[in-house]
Amino acid sequence: MQIAIDIGGMSTKIAVLDQGTKLLEKTSFEYEVNTVPF
Amino acid sequence: MGELIQKYPITSIGMAIPGIINPSTGEVSGLSAIADREQVNFKTSFEVTFQVPVFFENDANCAAIGEVVHGAGKGFQDIAFFIIGTGLGGAIFIDRKLHRGVNSLGGEMGSMVYQKPNLDGWSNVSTKTGMFALEQFYENLSQVKKTGFEIYQAYETEKNAKAAIDWQISKIAEVILNTAYVIDPELVLLGGGVSQNPLFLQLLEDKLKTINHQIGMEVLFKIKACEFTNDANLIGAAALATL
């Protein structure tokens, strides 16, 4: 299983995937444009 | 993140990040939504914190990799991938391997340049092909604001919507054909929300045939829309560990 993280301009998605395409869990959080909180 | 690693047998972390990525060093440069990208090295900090291998890649490349590994690109060798969003992004696969180039700029078809009308400087084709460009073009014609989705809905009934879409389709077709005559792909793969619209695909296929006919050539590559939509970047990020 993998954790996948997709950082976008307005939100970041985090998911756990099994067998490549099966999303077991997915969450996201939003923020103002171009202010990724890392 | 820590909770997920406790809960599941996680073997790797894959990250999709906007900007120009150096997967080996973890450096992010170029245009990116990450303001402090020079100060943050995700690869190093995540590997130290979570004790699993961390892979990361440009977000458009991730969407492409997901499709090539698990989706519409399965079974094809040489692929040109175009994602039409606000602007236009791309990726190129030769023998199913992502072609990065020396500076990780390979497949950046949106950065192809064109000269503005009346010799008024230069710009890149991303500014002429994406949905933002379509919306601007439509607004200039009609003095009304509409979303790209709304403009496509009005194609059959509104003259300005048809003109704006026909213009966008021509610009995208130019980029696809110019790319195709460089790499001679087996497949052109189209991503982004608009790629799921059958009207978009039909107009684009027709335009590609028309242009090629005018230059005495024919379309030899297949055209397909991506299978994964909202989760494309996540699926591609997860696939990074398998490459």
Nearest-angstrom CA–CA distance, B223 and B195? 11
Q: What is the pLDDT of residue B83?
A: 93
Least Cα separation, residue A27 to chain B (angstroms): 11
Q: What is the pLDDT of residue B28?
A: 78
Residue A35 has pLDDT above 60, yes or no: no
Residue B39 has pLDDT above 70, yes or no: no
The residue of B3, B5, B7, B8 whose CB has the most chain A CBs within 10 angstroms, and thus the best one to mutate to test that interface, is B8
In the predicted model, what is the mean pLDDT of chain B?
91
In the structure encoding, which two tokens stand for residue B120, read together?
């008024």
Q: What is the pLDDT of residue B31?
A: 55
Nearest-angstrom CA–CA distance, A20 and B235? 7
Q: Does B33 touch chain A (CB under 8 A)?
A: yes
Indicate the residue of B34, B62, B241 with minimum beta-carbon distance to A2: B241
Q: Does B242 touch chain A (CB under 8 A)?
A: yes
Q: What is the pLDDT of residue B45?
A: 85
Q: Decide: B87 and B126 in contact? Cβ < 8 Å.
A: yes
Three-class SS string for B195-239?
HHCHHHHHHHHHHHHHHHHHCCCCCCCEEEECCCCCCHHHHHHHH
Both ends of chain B: CA-CA distance in Å? 23
Query: How sure is the predictor about B41, in pLDDT bands with cuts at 50, 70 and 90?
Result: confident
Query: How sure is the predictor about B24, in pLDDT bands with cuts at 50, 70 and 90?
Result: confident
The residue of B32, B49, B235 whose CB has the most chain A CBs within 10 angstroms, and thus the best one to mutate to test that interface, is B235
Q: What is the pLDDT of residue B221?
A: 97
Residue A33 has pLDDT above 70, yes or no: no
Residue B223 has pLDDT above 70, yes or no: yes
Query: Which residues are CB-contacts of B136 (< 8 A; sequence separation ≥ 6)?
Result: none
pLDDT digits (tens, 9 = 90+) for B145-203: 999 999 999 999 999 999 999 999 999 999 999 999 999 999 999 999 999 999 999 99
Q: What is the pLDDT of residue B43?
A: 84
Residue A38 has pLDDT above 60, yes or no: no
If you average pLDDT over residues B140-145, what whole number do you get? 97
pLDDT digits (tens, 9 = 90+) for A7-29: 887 788 999 999 999 999 999 98
In the structure encoding, which two tokens stand for residue B240, read together?
């990074």
Chain B neighbors of A14, CB-CB under 8 A: 1, 4
- % chain B with pLDDT above 90: 72
If you average pLDDT over residues B45-58, what whole number do you get? 90
Residue B129 has pLDDT above 80, yes or no: yes
Query: How sure is the predictor about B52, in pLDDT bands with cuts at 50, 70 and 90?
Result: very high
Indicate the residue of A21, A24, A38 with minimum beta-carbon distance to B235: A21
Residue B130 has pLDDT above 80, yes or no: yes
CB pairs under 8 A between A and B: 97
